[in-house]
Each structure stands twice: as C-alpha cells, then as structure tokens.
Chains A and B, each alone.
Chain A
Amino acid sequence: MQLSKKIVVLGHFGVGKTSLIRRFVENSFSDNYKVSIGVHITKKVVEFEVEDTMSLILWDLEGTDEIKTIRDAYLLGTHGVVFVFDVTRPSTFQSLNTDLEIIKSKLPTTPLFVVGNKVDLVVVSELETLFKENNIKTNFLTSAKTGDTVNDMFFELAKLIK
C-alpha cells in the first residue's frame, strides 16, 4: 500500500514557500512573485528504495506575518512542518523563536524543520554571525532559485516521518 503523509509549509509573506515546493515537485523556478491565497495542494512521490515509496501531500499555505492567525483546520493531522524564512529579510526571522513556539503549541509532537531560504543572495559565512546574534537555529539553508539543498530537505523530512 502507498504510504501518504501530509506536509505543511508555512512562514511569512514571500519567503519562498511556493518556490521551494515548485523546485521540489517540478524542478523549476520563476522570478515572478504571485502571492498565494488560501492553500495550494500538490503531491510528490519520494522513493527511498525500489518498491519503497511515500506520497508527500504538500500543503502550501498563504504567507502571514502573524503565525498565530493560521487556520487550525489547515494544521489538523499534519505529519511534518516546514517553517520557511527569508535570509535576506530580517523581519521574517526576527520573531522566529516566538513563531516556532506558536507552531509547537498547535502541533506539539509533529516534526518541524526550520529552513532559511534564498541563500543564493547572501554570503553564508556572514549569515552565521547574523544567526548567532539573533539566537536562531536552522535545520537547512536552501535556495529555490539554484535548487541548493531543496530536495535534500524534503527527503530528510520524509525519512524522519516514515
């Protein structure tokens, strides 16, 4: 039987949630920014080994600066969460630890990845100091534009929730 898992991707406006999913599912990227409204759902089958696969049902949520306003209905039954921020816009990660707490209060036992996106626009070594100053810990640094670490990130999450 095909195993299916629900992954929710969330974060502030324009951090690249939709772009990360598009890179992962279609291996493509666009510079055009189309604001997401509501939820968009896509699916990607990952293969661990021959005959050993998992369907990831990806819920791409509209961006919000107020994480606590996210509809509970969208989070029900979630198997994995990806919280995305934009490494070039401090406003999307300054309140990261509060944001994460809100998510954890809603989904206390669900595995969660913190992902800093758009690394193609910065020098990674400078980021490290910035993160230290802001007391930020990330699981992955990605670029939807170049594809850097995008597949790895989703694949690791799939392995974790298998």
Chain B
Amino acid sequence: MVEKDKVELLRDILFTDDRVFVQKIADRIGVIEQTIEEKDKLSEKVDPIISKQLDDFVEEIPTKLGPAITATLKEEIRKNKEEIVDALYPILGKMIKKYIAQEIKMLSNKISKQLSAKRWNIKFKSWFSGVKEEEIIISNLSVSTIEQVLLIERGSGILAASYSKTKTIDEDMISGMLTAIKGFVEDAFGQKNQNLELIEYELYNIHLQSFVSYYVAVVISGNYSLEAKDKVQDLIFDFYDDFMGKNLDSLFSSDGNEKKEKVSRASLEKQLNKKFENAII
C-alpha cells in the first residue's frame, strides 16, 4: 500500500463508530482478498513483469546454448506462457497476501493503541485547540519518540547512565547485549574504525553513536526519518559535549585536591532527562 492509501484508510476507519470501523476493515480485506484471488486481475498486473523476466532470461541463454536451442525454448515458453504464469501465481499471491496481512496488523495495532489510551486526551486537545481529532491522531502516528537513552562504556558494555520514558527490560542487560552485537558486527564485517550505527529491532530503531570511551544508544519508536536522525545526533553531541566537559572539570578540580572522580551517575541522569525528556524529533 502506498503511504497515501494508508492515510486514506486510516482516515476512513478511525472516525466512525466501532461497529462501522470493524465493518470497514472487513470490507477492505474482502476487496484485497478478491483482488488476490481473481486470477485475471492479478495476471494483468503480473504479466508484464513475467514477460520482462522471461526476456531477460532468454537473453542470457545464447551465450551458453546454441541459437537453435534458444529459438526452440523461446517458442516453447511463448506457447506455454499461461502455464508458467500459473506456476508462479500461487507464489506471488502468497507473498502479496502476507505483505498485506502484515501491513493491516501493524496498522490496527497502532490504531487500537491510539484508541484506548489516548482517545480522551485527543478529544480534549481537539476541543481546546480546534484542530480536528483525526488530524491530531494522524500526526501522532507519523511522529517518532525517544523511548530510552543509554550511556554505555565501550568494550565492557557497562551502563554509566540512562534515561527511560517507560521502564522496560533490565537496562544493564540491554547495554550488554547492544555492546555484544556491536562488537560482533564491527569485528566480523567492519574495518578497524567502522562503527555500527543503527539496529532495527521490531518496531524500534536503535541509534548508536560511538565516542572514544563511551557510546550512546538511543531507542526510537515510530517512523525514524532522516530529519529525526539529524535531531537525535544533535541531542547526543550536545549531551556528550557537556558530559565530557564536566568529566574533565571533576578530574582536574581547581582546589588542588586531585579527586580523580568521575561525574556521578545521578547528575548524569539528571542531565540526560533534561536533554531528552521533552525533546521533539
């Protein structure tokens, strides 16, 4: 489905009452299934692709087989096109169906989440701001959110500080796992100075920014666009700059006593909170 169609579909299904909503989804699925199951409709779409592939295929044969064989093959394939399309049809059909099912599942997951928790919130927002409810919901869907930020020691993978919107799995363990994955990928595929920058995990994008002794992992949900990436990087650099500055300050304190103490976790986390809590990306 194209982006535009998704939005159309959303618009249609979101703002009718629940019974109509269910009916609409059922109707849509009906239409989609019909399209897939109607062979003629599908082969209209698939035929040109197949012809092109066959042509490409046939083109390569002459170098390997004699022209005589090629001619016969060409003829045979042309004569039996129908059968070939037939053989391919279930495979393509399955792929398309699976894809659509997946899309619908993701969409309805998002919608039901939106409906349950935020419905009232949005109603109020709409009431006061005068912006239509559907517009608020749609803009919420495409937005990306910072779920978690981890400051992790490179190598050991020990967590130095974290910010988390909602407490999830154990952060010490996530930090270790990210570090193991990062180490594995960099070891196995990368040259010495290459760093793994992005891990996609289910509905999350995990942005990794490496520095010398630490790296920062930012877990983002939603659509992680280039603009969002740009903003996330700025936030990380800002934070790290600050952190390193403080670190140096406390290492070389001016009162003469060499403290050799790093910035405390509590103050780091305060800083992380301040930087990332209300950040809009």
Contacts and interface: CB of A to CB of B under 8 A. Distances in A.
B213 to A, nearest CB: 10
Contact of B180 (A2, A59, A78): A59
A68 B21 CA distance: 61
Interface stretch (B24-32, B114-122, B132-140, B153-161): B153-161
B155 to A, nearest CB: 3
Nearest to A74: B183
A57 B159 CA distance: 10
Interface stretch (A39-47, A87-95, A127-135, A141-149): A39-47
B93 interface: no
Given A39-B180, A71-B183, A71-B187, A6 B156 contact: yes
Interface in B142-182: 153-159, 170, 172-173, 176-177, 180, 182
Nearest to B175: A57
Interface residues of A, number: 21
Contact of A4 (B155, B158, B188, B266): B158
A55 B265 CA distance: 15
Given A6-B157, A38-B180, A43 B186 contact: no
A76 B158 contact: no
Contacts, number: 60
A35 interface: no
Nearest to A5: B158
A118 interface: no
Contacts of A76: 154-156, 183
A79 B158 CA distance: 11
A26 interface: no
Contacts of A72: 187
A55 to B, nearest CB: 6
Contacts of A71: 183-184, 187-188
A6 B157 CA distance: 8
Interface in A24-56: 38-39, 41-43, 55
Nearest to B178: A41
B264 interface: yes
A76 B170 CA distance: 21
B154 A42 contact: no
A76 B215 CA distance: 14
Majority secondary structure, B binding face: helix
Nearest to B159: A4
Contacts of A38: 180, 184
A57 B180 contact: no
A44 B172 CA distance: 10
B270 to A, nearest CB: 14
A122 interface: no
Contact of B156 (A39, A55, A77): A77
A73 B184 contact: yes
A43 B174 CA distance: 10
Given A71-B187, A72-B187, A41 B180 contact: yes
A41 B186 CA distance: 19
B156 A1 contact: no
A77 B153 contact: yes
Contacts of B153: 77
Given A73-B187, A74-B180, A43 B172 contact: yes
29 contacts: A1-B265, A1-B266, A5-B158, A6-B157, A6-B176, A38-B184, A39-B184, A41-B157, A41-B176, A41-B177, A43-B173, A43-B176, A55-B172, A57-B173, A57-B176, A59-B180, A71-B184, A72-B187, A73-B180, A73-B184, A74-B183, A74-B184, A76-B154, A76-B155, A76-B156, A77-B153, A77-B156, A77-B158, A78-B156
The 3 tightest CB contacts between A and B, nearest first, are: A77-B156, A73-B183, A76-B155
Interface of B: 153-159, 170, 172-173, 176-177, 180, 182-184, 186-188, 264-266
Given A4-B172, A43-B172, A73-B187, 7 more contacts: A39-B180, A41-B180, A42-B173, A57-B173, A73-B180, A77-B155, A77-B156
